Structure 1
Amino acid sequence: MDTDVLVVGGGATGVGVARDLSMRGVDVTLAERGGLSSGTTGRSHGVLHSGARYAESDPDGAAECIRENGILREVATGCVAETGGLFLSLDGDDPAYFDAKRSACRDVGIDAEEIDPAEAREAVPDLAGDLDRTMRVPDGVVFPSRLVAATADDARRHGAEILTDAPLKALHVEDGTLAGATVGGTRVDAEVVVNASGAWAGECAALAGVEVEMRPTRGVMVVVEYPGLGPVLNRSRAPADGDIVVPHRDRAVLGTTSVAVEDPDEYPREEWEVERVIDECSAMVPDLDDAPVEGTYWGVRPLYGPDESKRESRGISRDFFLLDHTRDGVDRFHTIVGGKLTTHRAMAEVTADRVCADLDVDAPCRTADEPLAAAGDPDRLDELVAEFDARSPADADVVGAD
């Protein structure tokens, strides 16, 4: 089969690229080895970041987060929940860190308001007794399965072909140009290939003789029975294990750890990570320590090696990088790595801009202005999740629920 652009990878960024390009009139085929959102996207904690988490360490990234946060609330209504968020400083936490974060939020346009701890307890009565200071921010929750399925559906409505259960078998380089790929048992000839395979980007690129150095890390999410939480809770301290609690219907998702892995498919899942996350999150909400554990799941972050090597310690900034492999001797081949679920649309826009330059397509991005066609219909969203085999643990309690 022939297409203008082949996108490899069916997570949020991949389907975002397919939607953006198809809306610009480009013929797109997307191939995913399993069901959509089966990689990092569907195994995240699902926070719609306000940018507050990154404000003091990465102001540009924080500004991008708050911008994309607002866009997703408008274009993907049934795929997000407007929960709000709180940053909590406990007795013994560095007050200077709290002050720096509050100031940084305001500098980049994030509505960050310090509130009295008593007001925070009205929203979350079970907060720790040693709560010292609290800041309210416009965080929210993303339902990744719905978001990916709705984005893929919208891409398909604009002419894209979405292939699931179509693993990448080979990339075909001819005279220094990537001419296409074999996915599943099908040869797909393409003018441009986009590698949006996340933590697997290095393995994908290697099939074209290109090195993309990935440094993936695993993180555990612990799902506990905890109804009525309300806002997303963040610990106001330097990045550490167990510093976020995410509300879900009758559950809460506690996260997370950060441990380097060699293989994003095969890695150990350690019980100490589960115990640490529960212990640390319980410092914010002591009742979480006794909450029944309903399950655990691990995700793998698609971190770009050269960026990670610059960090002196664990960081939480998640820059994204668009790599043009012409520099590696392979034309018409691009890799998009890094980033955050919240900024997937912006990542897709940058990628689509570059691909359109390759194809001499002069058409603007419209993904920030036009809502996803199915976004306002929860039943239809859940039908699409089933159709694309996109159900994932990050929102299993929401998708298909009454």
Structure 2
Amino acid sequence: MTDDTEVLVVGGGATGTGIARDLTLRGVDVTLVERGGLASGTSGRSHGLLHSGARYAEADAVGARECIEENRILREIAGDCIRDSGGLFLQLPADDPDYFEAKRAACEEIGIPAETLSGDEARAEVPGLSEDVERAMKVPDGVVYPSRLLAANAADARDHGATILTDAPVEGVRVADGEVVGVDVGGSVDGTIAAEQVVNAAGAWAGELGAMAGVGLEMRPTKGVMVSVRYDGLGPALNRARDPADGDIIVPHDGEVVLGTTSIEVDDPDDYEESEWEVEAMVEACSEMLPAVRDADHVRTWWGVRPLYAPDENSREGARGISRGFFCIDHADDGVDNLTSIVGGKLTTYRQMAEATADRVCEKLGVEADCRTAKERLPGADDPERLDALVAEFGGAGPTDEDVVRR
């Protein structure tokens, strides 16, 4: 069997579903394939923080601006796919006060709202906060429910004519005369799909798809552990005001908080050790901000793998947490004219990544149409029950927001 489509998107994470939505809103015929359910990869296995950009402000102004811009857009279009929790960056005695000041000044320069609170003021806002907190900075962080976000993007793409295929792993890529002439897909498809343009949005697995097409795409995936524990009543997301390290983010859910995360390089995004010491070290570090989580009941533990682009990581000389940009790569330079890869980036900036990719693909197709995804609300945005029904239809909830979607 051979199916024909204008654009085949490989990968049903946030970026892939965002690309499918963007392209279909521009009138392009799209088919998306995902090897599992939509939330089965990196997007559904994150800590779910909606970044304000403050985390990156002093190190990467461009990345921080991307975050605050997309943070504001998602508040307009995503409804119950996100939660406006606010956020605090906390300075503890071991943390360099100059780092706090540099971050505050950078936020002001970039236009990220930031208000300094004393330790007592912070504890008044967040009961249970460590007595060691010396001061805090209030920023517009939030929470993303990725399962809902992905399902809503996929549903809007389908409503505008896209074909969304889950449980559809790519098993081979056929290249002839300098272009992809067919993509062999197993599972629910069990056939070959031909497309004018192919988009590699496979995230941490993008290098494997590139290899199938005979192009070099070097990824450097890193694993990170998250733990959801019983804790009721946390309002804002908590961040440690120091250079990014293990156990420096706490994300609030109803009756739970998500603790994150570690960063350890892995060779294979499908095969890596899930070490208990990572969990213990991360929980201990988070408890320095919110002591009660040290002994809180664990609800679920999961690891996710970041889709980091090796050339970008090499340029950072091992520095962790500096805002990772995204890269839209045209493989015409590698001898495959109709293959484009999108790698790197963050969940918060998925829509911007999708827009950049859709712009590139439309240029190749000769399609002249503007992006509409920043203005049009996602379907079901104001109806949590509809969103959760879409999640179930497209493959179920990922662990990040399993408690919210399945309650």
When normalised by structure 1's length, the TM-score is 0.99
Contact 2:397 2:406 (8 Å CA) reproduced: no
Whether 2:330 is the aligned partner of 1:320: answer no
Q: Deviations over 1:5-57 (max 9, x none)?
A: 00000000000000000000000000000100210000000001000001011
Say which SS state the counterpart of residue 345 (structure 1) adopts: helix
Whether 2:15 is the aligned partner of 1:13: answer yes
Q: Deviations over 1:43-84 (max 9, x none)?
A: 000001000001011110000100000000110111000000
- 1:129-148 residue pairs with structure 2 within 5 A? 129-148=131-150
The partner residue of 2:180 within 178, 181, 189 is 178
The partner residue of 1:354 within 353, 360, 365 is 360
Say which SS state the counterpart of residue 203 (structure 1) adopts: helix
What corresponds to 2:104 in structure 1? 102
Contact 1:6 1:180 (8 Å CA) reproduced: no
The partner residue of 2:386 within 336, 361, 380 is 380
Contact 1:52 1:101 (8 Å CA) reproduced: yes
Using the alignment, how far apart are the partners of 1:130 and 1:70 within structure 2?
Answer: 32
Whether 2:342 is the aligned partner of 1:336: answer yes
Say which SS state the counterpart of residue 323 (structure 1) adopts: strand
The partner residue of 1:259 within 251, 258, 264 is 264
Percent identity between matched residues is 63
Contact 1:239 1:314 (8 Å CA) reproduced: no
What corresponds to 2:116 in structure 1? 114
Say which SS state the counterpart of residue 370 (structure 1) adopts: coil
What corresponds to 2:293 in structure 1? 288
Shift of 1:179: 2.2
Q: Deviations over 1:353-393 (max 9, x none)?
A: 00000000000000000001211111100000000013110
The partner residue of 2:196 within 191, 195, 198 is 191
The partner residue of 1:52 within 51, 54, 64 is 54
Shift of 1:243: 0.4
Contact 2:179 2:337 (8 Å CA) reproduced: yes
Using the alignment, how far apart are the partners of 1:300 and 1:173 within structure 2?
Answer: 29
Amino acid at match of 1:300: V
The partner residue of 2:222 within 199, 209, 217 is 217
Shift of 1:228: 0.9
Instruction: Name structure 2 gaps, 5 residues minimum.
Output: none
Report how many residues are paired: 401
Contact 1:148 1:390 (8 Å CA) reproduced: no
Say which SS state the counterpart of residue 131 (structure 1) adopts: coil
Q: Deviations over 1:171-191 (max 9, x none)?
A: 121200112311121211100
Whether 2:234 is the aligned partner of 1:229: answer yes
Q: Deviations over 1:198-220 (max 9, x none)?
A: 00000011010011000000000
The partner residue of 1:42 within 28, 41, 44 is 44
Contact 1:220 1:299 (8 Å CA) reproduced: yes
Q: Deviations over 1:234-272 (max 9, x none)?
A: 000011100000001110110000000000001001111
Amino acid at match of 1:91: P
Using the alignment, how far apart are the partners of 2:290 and 2:258 within structure 1?
Answer: 13
Say which SS state the counterpart of residue 63 (structure 1) adopts: helix
Contact 2:391 2:397 (8 Å CA) reproduced: yes
Using the alignment, how far apart are the partners of 1:123 and 1:354 within structure 2?
Answer: 46
Using the alignment, how far apart are the partners of 2:120 and 2:387 within structure 1?
Answer: 38
Amino acid at match of 1:267: Y
What corresponds to 1:152 in structure 2? 154
When normalised by structure 2's length, the TM-score is 0.97
Contact 1:55 1:108 (8 Å CA) reproduced: yes
Using the alignment, how far apart are the partners of 1:295 and 1:362 within structure 2?
Answer: 46
Shift of 1:119: 2.1
Contact 1:180 1:193 (8 Å CA) reproduced: no
Contact 2:50 2:142 (8 Å CA) reproduced: yes
Contact 1:179 1:192 (8 Å CA) reproduced: no
Using the alignment, how far apart are the partners of 2:403 and 2:36 within structure 1?
Answer: 21
Alignment root-mean-square deviation, CA:
0.8
